[in-house]
Structure 1
Amino acid sequence: MLYFSKRFVCKSIFAFFLFLSLSGFSQDKAEQAIQNMDKNFPQEKVYLMFDKNSYAAGDNIWFKAFVFDGYSKSNVSTTLFVELYDSSKKLIDKKMLPLYNSEGNGNFQLADNLKENIYYVRAYTIWMTNFSEDFQFMKSFAVYNPNSPEKLIKNDNADWSVSVFPESGTFVAGIDTKIAVRLQSGGTLPKNWNGYIIDKDKPNAHLADFESFDQNVGSFFMTPQKDKQYQVVITDNNGKNQKIDLPQVAESGINLQVKSLADKIEYQIKSNNIADESGYYKIIATIGNRFVYKARIRKNSNDEVFSIPANQLINGILQFTLFDEKENVVAQRLCFIQPQKLNFLKPVVQSISKNLNPKSLNSFDIKSDSNIYDVSVAVYDQSKFNQKENILSAFWLTGDFTDTIEQPVQYFSDNRNTDALDALLISEKWKRFNWKDIISGKFPVIKNQPEKYISYNVRITSNGAPVKNTNINLMFEGDKSGSKLLTVITDNNGDLSLKNMAFYEPQKIYYQLNADNPDAVIIPKVSFVPLKKELPQSDFILVKRNPNDALTSEASLAIENSQFQKKLNEKVTDIEEVKLIAKKQSPTEKLNDELSSPMFQSASETIFDFVNDKSLATGSPDILLWLEGRVAGLQIQRDGADVDVLMRNKKVDIYLDEVKTELEILRGFNISNIAMIKVVKDDFFGGFGNSNGAILIYTKNGNTGSGEVMKSMTGLKFFILKGYDKPDFYKNIFYSNDSLKNLIDNRINLYWNPKLPLDQSAKVEFYNNDSAKQNRVIITGFDDEKQLPVFSDSILN
């Protein structure tokens, strides 16, 4: 029987029943347990995309973050914690970032005197801390510094280990079985290796020979015989070899065999010497924590092949679990659904203007027919960049596994080997849950609940005693003249809660009440959680640096890039200082400062200035009709008398003079009364964490700033709330300025934008370095409506 969910299967839902027996099981604990896991224990995973593979001391590490729940965007968490560690697990820096639509971006500024070594970036949500740390995001980086007393070198001669995995975990006499062979190492894995199988009693006779698929895995078939002990001998391209025993051959048992084809997934139960062939097995298939398929199979159905239609499932890891009649796990097998056909959205790169001369201007357009609000775009010098992971490999593979997988991007490239991916999954085990535990009722203990954006408890005291059930006036001060008043009431403990806030700069909040010696104790509801486990091994080692040692090519490139960036920043700073002297505030900027308080200002706002641009008021006199078609991604949805305003297919809030307003009030509202309209597509402090954005309407007789309120609060006590860590601004080089053209440009990254508005099309302009002969464009994102990754990796031609 197939089970589907709209959230999980983005296709037509249909009813499909596969009955292999009219007899049922007396227990259904497994189904109940997995449904409990799905409902109450969503499994978040994080992917961070970085601007480069390695860095030098003094560099910025730039990153874009995506948070998923299984195979869709997560709606669990709105805050991401990102930490930077050195190789001794010392915390160097940490960032708390807002997640808008399950995405965020940020950066770490490395110190100029940072020692050359391997450093680690950890990323997680508070919800993820309820589960194993092994599923949190962790990535290592080489950071180079020629002034360090030690240097990094690749650990190319590291030992490697080999493991063997019979399909479904059983090795039964007389059953032709697929065996996966997996290599792992604390250093660099050999690029090529091969192996052969021997009977331990006859070591000179090869029973089978095979070649590796890639650095990670290879596979072979064999039919074991009872009372035999088999071994696999592996030899790498450097002549190193290892020998490992295969599991003991079982005289009786079953083997679950699976084939993932383009149109279906076939599975077969092979058995030998089963004492009682009456009765049934139960097989359950899950995608993540989601129950999607169940069947009852007779124990004597040894030659039957069963199938599941793959076109009704999504790409992803499917786990087959075979149970006996007492719901004991008999065999398990992982496979990938439709590896031959990966379902993701690929934006089109077109209208290419290409010039490979040094420091020349290049451009291209990005076009997509899907409802994609924004994408991340990076352009690289192809000769200097090697991508080991991307959103596809993280979304479909590494985000759900804890073992190191070398070059996971290869399993989802255009020239991918589907047999290699299948062998890799035979060698893996699903660790998100354990069937025995959840069937017995042992579920994860939830200690940390997610809060929507930033939340604080503030305890108000007077002479040390809590001020209970009392009205308190709060005033939020911004960095300009504006401010906002808010009246709240403390609870029985003297606490008040400030919830769902999204802001960057620290907020000074004044408070007023009739009490002696009032004081405020700030208690954040969500904070960083220390890392408990040890850091993973790296494929580099640290050795003493001698005075005449030459830099490796990777170190030299990273240091040259860093030196170029420092010189560029110095020149750009000089240019910007000159511009700043001459810059005057525009009439629209001045109007925005006058009308909107800091709580209602956002970096993502679009301003329509009706005071200084008289042409805006022409056309329809009705404000709703005027808004329609003016803002990309904004929809006015009508259903008879009901009207909704949507952004990215979600309702947005309406504010009139910074007071939240029902849409009904705007019916027939004359546009001649409007001074300014702002459309905010992300969160802002005044919205208290409304990630769907807002439309802010300012009337000509409405808010004119709150400077007078601010003056009245002078002398009152205050407390300060720390907000999110605001990312620095990434400066893409602009060579139209002649003063920059004498710089020696050896950049790896030619363009970086973690959040390029798309709205079906966008234009990208970038300047070449001094040597690039091929430019590589990587576009990354996620489509909310179709719940599919957005990805394109192409060479500009």
Structure 2
Amino acid sequence: MLTIRPMIALSLIVMVLHLNAQTLPHLLNIWSEKNPIEKVYLHIDRENYYSGQDIWFKAYFIADFLPSYSSSSIYVELIDGKGNVKKREVFPVFLGVAQGQIGIDTTNTSGVYTIRAYSPVMLNQSNFLFTQRIKISGKKAEIISKSKVGKLHLDFFPEGGNFIEGLMNNVAFKANDENGVPVNVSVTIKNQRDEIVLQTESFHDGMGSFSILPKKGEQYYAIIGGQHYPLPLSTNKGINLQLKSFTGKIQFLIDQQGNDSVFKPSYMLGQMQNRVVFRQGFKADKTKFSGIIQTGSLPSGILQITIFNIDNMPLAERLVFVNNKEYMLPAEITFDTLNTHKRMYNKFNLQLRDTVNGNFSISVTDADFENAQPREQNIYSWFLLNSDLKGYIHRPSWYFNNTSDSIEKALDLVMMTNGWRRFKWLDVANNIFPKTKIKDNGFIKLSGSATIGGTKKPFAEKELLLIISSKDTLNKTRRYTQILTTDAQGKFFIDSLVFYGNSNLLFSDVKGNNGRVIKVKLDGDSLMQSYEIPWNENWNDLPIKEEEEVLQEKMSLAYEQDLKNIDKTLETVTVTGKLKPRLKELDEYYTRGLFSGGIMARGIDLSQEGITGALNIFEFLQSRVPGIDVVKIDAYHVFYRKPVVLRVFNAQPGEKVPESVLGSVPNEMNLFLDEMPVSIEHLTTIPISNLAYMKIFPTFTGSAGGGGDGTIAVYTKKDFEVNKNIGPNFNMVSYRGYSISKEFYAADYSNLKTVNGREDNRLTLLWQQNLYINEVNAKIPIHFYNNDRTKTFKIVIEGVTNEGKLLMLETTVR
């Protein structure tokens, strides 16, 4: 048993005792300020899927226990058991969150897969990326069989890292099979004379501990099932470190064997998330030290405690989990309507306490197609445990189910049998830190060079028009128009772009100078980069339990039945519906915000008008649109007057417009291209064959001064035939933007007419990812309709507040 001497209260304020001891915390804190540990967690809708389904997710980023806004992109991958990346998607990150889906191809076979997620800056420490195992049932349905327990691996971990003879040592052990899965064992410890020293057994998931007093010259080994496993060799040099955790404090005992000055403890450091949180110096005339480390004011998570000598050499180290529970956001689920009958309406409420400001996500799934136990990992276990430890931790969410003494003891065994390896103290002492090789690009970054067509002459110090338009007909995201400025070498750069799907980048001289063609060469793709990431070959080889095997059989049968229902429905389906008017359809498809709707606005379908004779949009306006005056001098001028008499005045360059034409010289109309302000010169360069829709507003609040002089909004085609219609002045480059985030389909059976003949066997009944709350004592109503077979609902709600509190609710109801 650990005996504690009179306690010494430790201050959490960093104490400066001498210059050398000050160096380590100073160097580490400076480095961590520049390179904070960023973590990402994915709340996915469930853990079991069919081939052909979507995996819905919401990603949460944190750093220094708060939401992190430093990353602009997240990469989400689906990886098979051999480490092959089967699917890779990239989504933008806004204010520390991202959302989307990753589709499972219908060709994917049954098996265990891994979801891996990361931002580029996380690859500077690639061993700490987010990973989540899922199971997929596919067309080539092979029941995932249980792996046989092969050769047993037994490892020993002396507390503090040293096995010191002549002193009482605490030793933890961990037993795993060849796949890394824990195996509970009974252990007999013997010495070299085959005498039994002690007997013990694992406490949880193959982990356990025992106390032993090694004798000089003796060797020890463990026996399990007739196999011998040697303990570490003891040494007569070094220090023995023992820690014991209590609520709000940690007791410590340090004992040195001998009086060698090299192993004389000089000070103790504690760090969390690469930041030193306390420092304690020791008197030089002692060999034993004991005391208390106050932890009640520390954030919850892994605390690394290290003992150093006067030359900053680590002598002993130990991890401790601090659980002050301040990270938990109090919440509960209450039901207003619970009905598990076919296609019936359900309503529950998320009840929060106090003021809550944060992002959250909700999933409701069929519990009969989920594992009976809680999820293997959740937002608590990932952010506070897995993300800081290397190696496999079996069912980490279990350690956050409650706060019983048995769970705390088991969690301490996790601390003793896993190591912190984000940095090495010797490297810190020598000011050697991992280099930051990858930096965040700030969303999509475009850089390159522009030259004048037919020459090698740079298009130098000029304005370059960039139009970004989607090639995907189903992508309803807006188009972008940007003005770039080249330098003396014709180079340009722009970042912070956000566009989606396969896109065309159209470059042109802003002034459309005499039909001059500009050739553009991009430097590279800043978004779809390929990174080399180490893969743990055993990660997907972890076996499943018998109850999980039964679930996989059930999933495979349900998948085959669902395929039959789809085929049957497709044979008999008849599509009917009322078509929307063409202009209304165009307005909904192209316009957003203030540009949409408008009682007095007039829309014009440019794709179906007879405009073949018009060179540009202004020639079309001259001949087709009453109510607008177009005057051409050295350039076009567009006016909106009441009453309007169309006048076209062709003048020589520099000639003034006669008073009889302009009258009182009204202000010109406001012009927008793809809802971005644009000049007449810019708009003149756009071939009219590339325009899809035009909208004319007598007044428009989105224009300067309220738009009382009239406004014209013009929209380029989203998927125009680039090879035919881009015009001679444009240089086109294909570019893949961010993956398109789809909208989750939530069935609505409020109207019985919507019921069709196909069976509704959805596994995910509700996925709500855009839940942002900023209220006091918020009560958030959640609605969904059941499918045709679910009798038990599994509800999971997770999220992060702006103060860094974590929400995790998981329950099943029937």
Residue pair 1:778, 1:793 contacting (<8 A) in 2 also: yes
How many corresponding residue pairs? 683
Structure of larger gyration radius: 2
1:327 aligns with 2:312: yes
For each residue in 1:510-566, what CA deviation from the matched residue of structure 2 results, as whole angstroms up to 9, or x when unmatched?
332248542112222343333342443146599xxxxxxxx9523333234545666
Match of 1:727 in 2: 741
Amino acid at match of 1:557: K
Match of 1:792 in 2: 809
1:317 aligns with 2:295: no
Residue pair 2:124, 2:436 contacting (<8 A) in 1 also: yes
Match of 1:294 in 2: 279
Relative to structure 1, the CA distance from residue 152 to residue 77 in structure 2 (aligned partners, 3 Å threshold; closer, same or farther) is same
Residue pair 1:165, 1:179 contacting (<8 A) in 2 also: yes
Aligned residue for 1:147, secondary structure, equals coil
Match of 2:96 in 1: 102
Residue pair 2:527, 2:737 contacting (<8 A) in 1 also: no
Residue pair 1:119, 1:142 contacting (<8 A) in 2 also: yes
Output the CA distance in 1 between the equivalents of 2:477 and 2:252.
Answer: 69
Output the CA distance in 2 between the equivalents of 1:527 and 1:697.
Answer: 42
Offset of residue 63 of structure 1? 2.4
Relative to structure 1, the CA distance from residue 529 to residue 713 in structure 2 (aligned partners, 3 Å threshold; closer, same or farther) is closer
Output the CA distance in 2 between the equivalents of 1:192 and 1:278.
Answer: 36
For each residue in 1:139-160, what CA deviation from the matched residue of structure 2 results, as whole angstroms up to 9, or x when unmatched?
4443333536x65312143334
Match of 1:764 in 2: 782
Amino acid at match of 2:420: W
Output the CA distance in 1 between the equivalents of 2:600 and 2:330.
Answer: 42
Output the CA distance in 2 between the equivalents of 1:581 and 1:781.
Answer: 41
Amino acid at match of 1:438: V
Aligned residue for 2:713, secondary structure, equals coil
Output the CA distance in 1 between the equivalents of 2:484 and 2:712.
Answer: 24
**Mapping 1:303-702, distance limit 5 Å:** 304-338=289-323, 341=325, 343-368=327-352, 369-386=354-371, 387-414=375-402, 417-462=407-452, 463-477=455-469, 485-513=481-509, 514=513, 517-522=517-522, 523-538=524-539, 540=541, 552-563=549-560, 581-582=578-579, 590=587
1:753 aligns with 2:768: yes
Match of 2:210 in 1: 220
Offset of residue 420 of structure 1? 0.8
Output the CA distance in 2 between the equivalents of 1:572 and 1:346.
Answer: 46
Aligned residue for 2:348, secondary structure, equals strand
Offset of residue 258 of structure 1? 2.0
Residue pair 1:44, 1:67 contacting (<8 A) in 2 also: yes
Output the CA distance in 1 between the equivalents of 2:735 and 2:806.
Answer: 36
- Of the structure 1 ranges 770-779 and 318-327, higher mean CA displacement relative to structure 2 is found in 770-779
For each residue in 1:695-743, what CA deviation from the matched residue of structure 2 results, as whole angstroms up to 9, or x when unmatched?
9997566654124999998553133442210123322344454775876
Amino acid at match of 1:530: Y
Residue pair 2:52, 2:106 contacting (<8 A) in 1 also: yes
Amino acid at match of 1:761: K
For each residue in 1:664-695, what CA deviation from the matched residue of structure 2 results, as whole angstroms up to 9, or x when unmatched?
xxxxxxxxx99678xxxxxxxxxxxxxxxxx9
Offset of residue 585 of structure 1? 9.1
Relative to structure 1, the CA distance from residue 755 to residue 177 in structure 2 (aligned partners, 3 Å threshold; closer, same or farther) is farther
Aligned residue for 2:484, secondary structure, equals strand
Amino acid at match of 2:428: I
Output the CA distance in 2 between the equivalents of 1:305 and 1:586.
Answer: 81
Residue pair 2:359, 2:773 contacting (<8 A) in 1 also: yes
TM-score by length of 1: 0.76
Residue pair 1:129, 1:529 contacting (<8 A) in 2 also: no
Relative to structure 1, the CA distance from residue 775 to residue 221 in structure 2 (aligned partners, 3 Å threshold; closer, same or farther) is farther
For each residue in 1:47-72, what CA deviation from the matched residue of structure 2 results, as whole angstroms up to 9, or x when unmatched?
22322323333222222222332433
For each residue in 1:422-477, what CA deviation from the matched residue of structure 2 results, as whole angstroms up to 9, or x when unmatched?
11111111111111122212221222221111111132122344323222233445
Amino acid at match of 2:98: G
Aligned residue for 1:165, secondary structure, equals strand
Output the CA distance in 1 between the equivalents of 2:137 and 2:589.
Answer: 45
Output the CA distance in 1 between the equivalents of 2:299 and 2:585.
Answer: 48
Amino acid at match of 1:706: V
Which of the residues 182, 185, 203 maps onto 2:174? 182
Offset of residue 349 of structure 1? 1.3
Aligned residue for 1:202, secondary structure, equals coil
Residue pair 2:342, 2:789 contacting (<8 A) in 1 also: yes
Output the CA distance in 2 between the equivalents of 1:562 and 1:37.
Answer: 51
Relative to structure 1, the CA distance from residue 725 to residue 792 in structure 2 (aligned partners, 3 Å threshold; closer, same or farther) is same
Aligned residue for 1:35, secondary structure, equals helix
Aligned residue for 2:149, secondary structure, equals coil
Output the CA distance in 1 between the equivalents of 2:717 and 2:156.
Answer: 72
For each residue in 1:302-341, what CA deviation from the matched residue of structure 2 results, as whole angstroms up to 9, or x when unmatched?
55432232221110111111110111111111111126x4
Residue pair 2:269, 2:280 contacting (<8 A) in 1 also: yes
**Mapping 1:231-310, distance limit 5 Å:** 231-234=221-224, 242-276=227-261, 281-299=266-284, 301=286, 304-310=289-295
1:145 aligns with 2:138: yes
Which of the residues 784, 795, 814 maps onto 1:777? 795
1:199 aligns with 2:191: yes
Output the CA distance in 2 between the equivalents of 1:272 and 1:697.
Answer: 83
Identity of aligned residues (%): 21
Output the CA distance in 2 between the equivalents of 1:448 and 1:222.
Answer: 47
Residue pair 2:477, 2:500 contacting (<8 A) in 1 also: no
Match of 1:629 in 2: none
Residue pair 2:143, 2:553 contacting (<8 A) in 1 also: no
Which of the residues 67, 76, 84 maps onto 1:90? 84
Match of 2:729 in 1: 716
Residue pair 1:398, 1:405 contacting (<8 A) in 2 also: yes
Offset of residue 586 of structure 1? 11
Which of the residues 24, 39, 42 maps onto 1:45? 39
Offset of residue 345 of structure 1? 0.8
Match of 1:77 in 2: 71
Aligned residue for 2:356, secondary structure, equals coil
Output the CA distance in 2 between the equivalents of 1:175 and 1:576.
Answer: 80
Which of the residues 13, 17, 24 maps onto 1:30? 24
For each residue in 1:16-64, what CA deviation from the matched residue of structure 2 results, as whole angstroms up to 9, or x when unmatched?
5587xx9535453312321232122222223223223233332222222
Amino acid at match of 1:474: L
Output the CA distance in 2 between the equivalents of 1:696 and 1:68.
Answer: 40
Output the CA distance in 1 between the equivalents of 2:568 and 2:331.
Answer: 35
Superposition RMSD in Å: 4.1
Offset of residue 127 of structure 1? 1.0
Output the CA distance in 1 between the equivalents of 2:322 and 2:769.
Answer: 30
Relative to structure 1, the CA distance from residue 562 to residue 611 in structure 2 (aligned partners, 3 Å threshold; closer, same or farther) is farther
Amino acid at match of 1:512: S
Residue pair 1:367, 1:762 contacting (<8 A) in 2 also: yes
Relative to structure 1, the CA distance from residue 129 to residue 594 in structure 2 (aligned partners, 3 Å threshold; closer, same or farther) is closer
